[in-house]
Amino acid sequence: MMRFTPALFNHTEALLAELLRSPFPADAVVSRYFRQHRELGHADRGFAAETVYAALRRKRSLSARCGDDVTSRRLLLATLACVNGMNRRELDSVLREVEGKWLAQAKAVKLEDLPPAVRLDLPDWLYETLCARFDADEVEKLATGLNQSAPLDLRVNLLKAERDAVLARLQADGIAAEACRYSPHGIRLNGKPSLARHPLFLDGSIEVQDEGSQLLGFLVQPKRGEMVADFCAGAGGKTLLLGAMMRSQGRLYAFDVAEKRLAKLKPRLARSGLSNVHPVRIESEHDIKIKRLAGKLDRVLVDAPCSGLGTLRRNPDLKWRQTPESVAELNAKQASILAAAAGPVKQGGRLVYATCSLLEAENEAIVAAFLAAHPDFVLLSAADILRKQGVEIDALEAGDDRLRLLPHRHGTDGFFAAVLQRT
């Protein structure tokens, strides 16, 4: 059981201060801090992590509450009082005498009096971009969804276990869980228990993977015995899903430019029981290893490097890091990668382009430009492909062949995907 103490407050403040000045991703900073402070127990770590992430999510409106003196200490106190709902008595042990009056004023700030972008905790450029796409009411709901903490989703490795059996085992172990709304392989946990030492995790029966990410595998729809590539494999979450869908038969390439990311795939691969995965480091999307596969692959997944703005529930720092300029740089890379990934796709083969972005510039615009330059590819209906596999997605935009998942509509990260077929 976690007990709120001045020592825990000091650790949380130190971690938040580090996050606010660090150029590195928030999850890496948090992990490093916890490695350096092993005296913090599981509950204390959970409190510190959730609190600093809440501060990052709500940084703009919390800064408005802080007035002219925005410090990590004030941001933390405002988070505890205004987001976590702690009262004055609970904060007494950490509150300095002069801070009582300021905190009362901070709590009295009316959110509805703040400009919309500040109230919704979005940078101006992102708020304006979303307003060009959605009406004001939808932007409000989307921003609210992005400001929630993401649930913990698991994917059952069907090579090793059945979902019902995994659910029964988790519930027997006192872990509240239910089947995901859409993914036939998915389980959503109620809370965030530590699973690193759970037998189902250790034997590869389960992997942590957002439900939206799982659905991308059903768009690729790989079959046993096919030749398939995960073009930007990273640490291999989707690679493992594709391999399991192939029942470990055929050949599955996991391409990535980063040796470090592919190294993270190795222990996961060992647990998974898959024998058809071939991790390959490439120099770039133009690597000769890619060119040698011209016209040979049945299916290629391009989970393109992107702004990550669909993942703000779990990566809230990204909204303060990304800029229109950084997105424009990504657009050039995305177009280049998609064009290169088309080369290995055989006639009648399938190419799936996906991002975890909400921006048209990274999604529809990239696909439209690709189709204009590649008349031998056509767009297939993502909803039809999913429906044929028993996956019904509600709240999709009518008549649109692409898949768009949004946290406030679907309870997943924000994902975009387009399914392209070489004619």
Give the residue numbers annotated as catalytic, written as ranges: 356
Block residue for tokens 């009362």: 104
405 alpha-carbon distance from chain centroid: 12
Q: Which residue in 273, 44, 50, 288 sits closest to 158, CA to CA?
A: 273
State whether residue 415 is helix, strand or coil. strand
Q: Please, what is the angle between helix 42-57 and helix 6-21, to 10°?
A: 50
Amino acid (one-letter) located at 238: K
Report, in angstroms and rounded to the nearest whole number, the Rg of the chain calculated over CA atoms: 23
- Label residue 361 exposed, middle or buried (CB < 10 Å: 0-12, 13-18, 19+): middle
| 138 contact partners, CB below 8 Å, separation of at least 6 | none
First to last CA, the chain: 59
Taking residue 59's Cβ as centre, other Cβ atoms within 10 Å add up to 22
By CB atoms closer than 10 A (0-12, 13-18, 19+), residue 398 is exposed
DSSP codes of every residue in 253-282:
EEEES-HHHHHHHHHHHHHHT--SEEEEE-
> Residue 301: beta bridge partners?
230, 352
Residue 34 contacts residue 23 (beta carbons within 8 Å) = no
Residue in the structure block whose two tokens are 């003196």: 69
Rounded to whole angstroms, the Cα distance separating 270 from 286 reads 29
Q: Measured between alpha carbons, how far is 156 from 163 in angstroms, rounded to an integer?
A: 6
**Nearby residues of 203 by Cβ (< 8 Å), 6 or more positions away:** 160, 271
Contact 54, 15 (CB under 8 A): no
Compute the distance between CA of residue 237 and CA of residue 269 in angstroms, rounded to an integer.
10
